[in-house]
Amino acid sequence: MNLKAKDISERRETAHTNGVARLMAPLRLDSGQMLHDVDIAYCTYGQLNARRSNAVLICHALTMDQYVASPNPTTGRPGWWPTLVGPGQTLDPQRFFIISSNILGGCMGSTGPSSINPATGRPYGLSFPVITIADMVRAQAMLVSQLGVDTLFTVVGGSMGGMQALEWAATYPERMFSCVMLATAARHSAQNIAFHEVGRQAIMADPDWRGGEYASQSVRPEKGLSVARMAAHITYLSETALQRKFGRELQRDGLSWGFDADFQVESYLRHQGSTFVDRFDANSYLYITRAMDYFDLAQRFDGKLSLAFQKSAGVRFCVLSFSSDWLYPTPESRNIVRALNAAGAPASFVEIDSDKGHDAFLLDEPVMRDVLAGFLEAAAEKRGV
Amino acid sequence: MNLKAKDISERRETAHTNGVARLMAPLRLDSGQMLHDVDIAYCTYGQLNARRSNAVLICHALTMDQYVASPNPTTGRPGWWPTLVGPGQTLDPQRFFIISSNILGGCMGSTGPSSINPATGRPYGLSFPVITIADMVRAQAMLVSQLGVDTLFTVVGGSMGGMQALEWAATYPERMFSCVMLATAARHSAQNIAFHEVGRQAIMADPDWRGGEYASQSVRPEKGLSVARMAAHITYLSETALQRKFGRELQRDGLSWGFDADFQVESYLRHQGSTFVDRFDANSYLYITRAMDYFDLAQRFDGKLSLAFQKSAGVRFCVLSFSSDWLYPTPESRNIVRALNAAGAPASFVEIDSDKGHDAFLLDEPVMRDVLAGFLEAAAEKRGV
């Protein structure tokens, strides 16, 4: 099941389309505001079949993007989900029409705080409205329609992508045949909010943030964004994974007796921070973390999560959690599954034994591959894809 | 067992002595440097008995100080360990001579990076040598001698205080009758180092840090230190405690649709950050976290922790962990107990069932009170105190 170098190089050449769709109507936001001239950047892989029954929507996590199976033009790195999407993988473009879009509020081509506000001709900055996961999903649904797709074969997402999948299930159940959620939660916990708040405060403490107006002043709050990324990155890995990967290994022989990166884990985190600022916008980080913190799917259903799925009984669900994920631990997934069961929706649930923490869903976990392959194959047969 | 307001007000008046001792010799540091004119600030409570057998040393955690049972003059807050130290408590000044000193590198009167370097007449800043837990303990041992105490009845410490207690056991076993370690570890894990590195980077990212020279430039890196404190504070609480305390409760009716503190947990963390900068020095935070990261007691014993205790078989040990402490989880304590057992040292070990996380050792945990009272009472009887 291991990915070979040859596989990767083939996948790098996966036929794909990059596009930016201007949504055909203004977007009404949960905040009550209207957002005009909304662009959603996307990639597609494969072809829509004649019955229009083979479309798949991939929803990305906080810092990911639309380049799920093709190289990211900013970083040059290959697609971010090689174990699931690509030739020979479960979601093979030979069979499926795969859509992956950059979320509303993102910084890879979709409208977000770094976009030009058509009303002023200048970057939105903090005049960009606060958005929600539901707003992101409304924009995705419009994009999917504009790409000629009524009903998706499946909506797949991990982490914040899983939150989007949950919103799809609650809002557009008639437009999806199945739904896969990995390493996610139906609401943000106090600890989740706390970590995000540390990141936001780190960004806003950076004098180069300039009250969010850095773009028009040719500076960037790189140090603050880097600290935010470092803090968040710790939550993506398990304590065990960090210990196995780095332990107390030093960067060089002996201690520096100073504040250089003595330990490999320090150097690794600094690297995570410094490479992140090259590919991510600080204001997008503020807005997206805010959307995640605001996420509490049950809230608009009187606090009863099962009511969110009252029209979803016809959708086939697959919910996966990872045993060492302490960001969105297994009880959060069980909570979703219980609500799906209460709503009468068929749901497969697997807790995958892994010590790799939250990020396991992006890694090569053979059990995850097998479970997803089994679930999606059965659904595809049922759907006749 | 609950603490009543009256008890607290009585304890606020606990008779105590505040002092600053100039160590009678220069301090040879693990780095190889010599530190001259070292001051150690301390409080004492109670009187040394005629046999000099009733002295207790309290070792404090990262951000604590010598004011274990009397008001902190900076904050006006009462002593930080009211459930253990004070009139009517297990460590009662009527019975014990209690010594609590501010660690080397601290900022409450002991020599640290904000002290004046006698060689230059200016604050040390980053010219202060990097110190270790063992350096702190060497300074404590000199202080204890200067206070007329050869052998301590007990050394007690939680968290970083527990690391100091471990160093005492390894280095001065003949100078202690018993030893209590709570919520601690014999070495810093990769995750521990990672969180500290985030804090240090947050401080050093603040332009008001000025390469550590802020003191002479009349500024302070308050924003960076505040972010460091916020990140660390999350690790002091369990996910369950945060959820119970705050959940998703809002600060006011409805969301702000902005970046104000909407959630109570955000407001709480911001408060933790902003009050911390009023009482703590940023460079001290760098140096103390560095000392903790460097801590790996087994290292100088060929990686065999039991060898650290080869002369400690005559000391009675009590090791406590808390079930929801994810900063220094129970396996770290078990590791210490196994090494003590292997060295033939008598060790009581209790994992206390608590959902309050790492900070539980500072809170009113009845089981902890009972265990400590039982252990220390038995030791005191044996010692004839």
Q: Which residue of A has its CA nearest to B289?
A: A259
Distance of CA B321 to the CA centre of its chain: 15
Q: Which two tokens stand for residue A190?
A: 């106090």
Q: Which of B198, B202, B242 sits opposite A194 (nearest CB)?
A: B242
Q: Which of A31, A189, A202 sits opposite B227 (nearest CB)?
A: A202
**A302 noted as active-site residue:** no
> In this complex, do A248 and B204 lie within 8 Å of one another by their Cβ atoms?
no
Residues β-bridged to residue B176: B152
Nearest to A137 by CA among A112, A170, A186: A170
pLDDT in the model for residue A15: 79
DSSP per-residue letters across A232-295: HHHHHS-HHHHHHHTTT-BSSSS--SSSS--BHHHHHHHHHHHHHTTT--HHHHHHHHHHHHH-
Q: Percent of chain B beyond pLDDT 90? A: 96
> In this complex, do B197 and A265 lie within 8 Å of one another by their Cβ atoms?
yes
Do the domains spanning B5-188+297-383 and B192-289 agree at the CATH topology level? no
Residues of chain B positioned with their CB less than 8 A from the CB of A201:
223, 226-227, 230, 270, 273
**A353 noted as active-site residue:** no
Interface-testing mutation among B225, B259, B325, with chain A (most A C-beta atoms within 10 A)? B259
* Burial class (CB within 10 angstroms; exposed 0-12, middle 13-18, buried 19+) of B190: buried
B117, pLDDT greater than 90: yes
Task: For residue B9, name the pLDDT band (cuts at 50, 70, 90).
Answer: very low
User: What's the CA gap between B380 and B384, in Å, rounded?
Assistant: 6
Amino acid at B100: S
User: What's the CA gap between B380 and B385, in Å, rounded?
Assistant: 5
Interval B291-306 mean pLDDT: 97
Q: What angle do CA A169, A171, A176 make, to 5 degrees?
A: 45
Instruction: With beta carbons less than 8 A apart as the criterion, state whether B131 and B103 touch.
Output: no
Low-confidence ranges of chain A (pLDDT < 70): 1-14
Under DSSP, the state recorded for B357 is: -
Q: Classify the phi-psi angles of B46: left when phi > 0, otherwise alpha if psi is within -120 to 50, otherwise beta.
A: left
Q: Which two tokens stand for residue B236?
A: 């002091």
pLDDT in the model for residue A312: 97
Residues of chain A positioned with their CB less than 8 A from the CB of B266:
193-194, 197
B106, pLDDT greater than 50: yes
Burial B299-331 (b: 16+ CB within 10 A, else e): eeeeeebbbbbebbeebbbbbbbbebbbbbbbe
> In this complex, do A259 and B230 lie within 8 Å of one another by their Cβ atoms?
no
Nearest to B188 by CA among B212, B160, B209, B226: B160
Q: Return the active site residues of B.
A: 159, 325, 358
pLDDT in the model for residue A205: 97
Of A176-180, B71-75, B155-159, B190-194, which gets the smallest average pLDDT?
B71-75
> In this complex, do A226 and B201 lie within 8 Å of one another by their Cβ atoms?
yes
Distance from the B38 Cα atom to the nearest Cα atom in chain A, whole angstroms: 19
pLDDT in the model for residue A12: 46
B6, pLDDT greater than 50: no
Q: Which two tokens stand for residue A261?
A: 């990166």
User: What's the CA gap between B363 and B292, in Å, rounded?
Assistant: 23
Query: For the CA atoms of chain B, what is the radius of gyration?
Result: 20
Nearest to A348 by CA among A372, A376, A317: A317
Q: Which residue of A has its CA nearest to B30?
A: A257
Distance from the A227 Cα atom to the nearest Cα atom in chain B, whole angstroms: 6
Query: Quick one: which H or E segment has residue A376?
Result: helix A366-383
> In this complex, do B198 and A266 lie within 8 Å of one another by their Cβ atoms?
no
- From A70, A159, A178, A284, active-site residue: A159
Q: What angle do CA B284, B328, B317 make, to 5 degrees?
A: 100
Q: Classify the phi-psi angles of A37: left when phi > 0, otherwise alpha if psi is within -120 to 50, otherwise beta.
A: left
Amino acid at B367: V
DSSP per-residue letters across B23-77: PSSPEEPTTS-EE-S-EEEEEEES---TTS--EEEEE--TT--S-SSS--TTT-P
> In this complex, do B293 and A263 lie within 8 Å of one another by their Cβ atoms?
yes
Distance from the B245 Cα atom to the nearest Cα atom in chain A, whole angstroms: 9
Give SS3 for A341.
Answer: helix
Interface-testing mutation among A133, A197, A208, with chain B (most B C-beta atoms within 10 A)? A197
Nearest to B75 by CA among B104, B108, B119: B108
Residues of chain A positioned with their CB less than 8 A from the CB of B189:
239, 242-243, 248
Output the CA–CA distances (angstroms, integers) from residue A13 to A78, A93, B155, B160, in the order listed: 10, 12, 65, 53
CB atoms within 10 A of CB B20: 14
Distance from the A308 Cα atom to the nearest Cα atom in chain B, whole angstroms: 19
Q: What angle do CA A159, A160, A165 make, to 5 degrees?
A: 95
Distance from the B283 Cα atom to the nearest Cα atom in chain A, whole angstroms: 11
Tell me the fold of A5-188+297-383: Rossmann fold (3.40.50)
Residues of chain A positioned with their CB less than 8 A from the CB of B235:
none
**A188 noted as active-site residue:** no
Q: Which residue of B has its CA nearest to A329?
A: B239
Instruction: With beta carbons less than 8 A apart as the criterion, state whether A82 and A89 touch.
Output: yes
Distance of CA A263 to the CA centre of its chain: 30
User: What's the CA gap between A365 and A363, in Å, rounded?
Assistant: 6
Q: Which of B205, B242, B326 sits opposite A224 (nearest CB)?
A: B205
pLDDT in the model for residue A13: 52
Q: Which residue of A has its CA nearest to B127?
A: A258
Q: Which of B227, B269, B286 sits opposite A227 (nearest CB)?
A: B227
B14, pLDDT greater than 80: no
Interface-testing mutation among B126, B132, B192, B198, with chain A (most A C-beta atoms within 10 A)? B198
B261-298 pLDDT, tens digit each: 999 999 999 999 999 999 999 999 999 999 999 999 99
- The pLDDT mean for chain B works out to 95
> In this complex, do A326 and B239 lie within 8 Å of one another by their Cβ atoms?
yes
Residues β-bridged to residue B187: B296
Under DSSP, the state recorded for B237 is: S
pTM for this prediction: 0.94
Count the alpha carbons within 13 Å of B291 in the hemisphere toward its beta carbon.
30
β-pairing, A55-59 vs B347-352, is unpaired
Amino acid at A76: G
Domain borders along chain A are 5-188+297-383, 192-289
User: What's the CA gap between B295 and B359, in Å, rounded?
Assistant: 20
Under DSSP, the state recorded for A52 is: S
List helix spans (H) across chain B.
Answer: 5-12, 133-146, 160-171, 190-205, 222-236, 239-245, 264-276, 282-294, 305-308, 330-342, 366-383
Distance from the B274 Cα atom to the nearest Cα atom in chain A, whole angstroms: 12
CATH of domain B192-289: 1.10.1740.110
β-pairing, A39-45 vs A116-117, is unpaired
Q: Which residue has the tokens 């794909």?
A: A16
Residues β-bridged to residue A16: A45
Distance from the A6 Cα atom to the nearest Cα atom in chain B, whole angstroms: 34
User: What's the CA gap between A217 and A206, in Å, rounded?
Assistant: 14
β-pairing, B122-123 vs B176-182, is unpaired
Instruction: With beta carbons less than 8 A apart as the criterion, state whether A60 and A133 touch.
Output: no
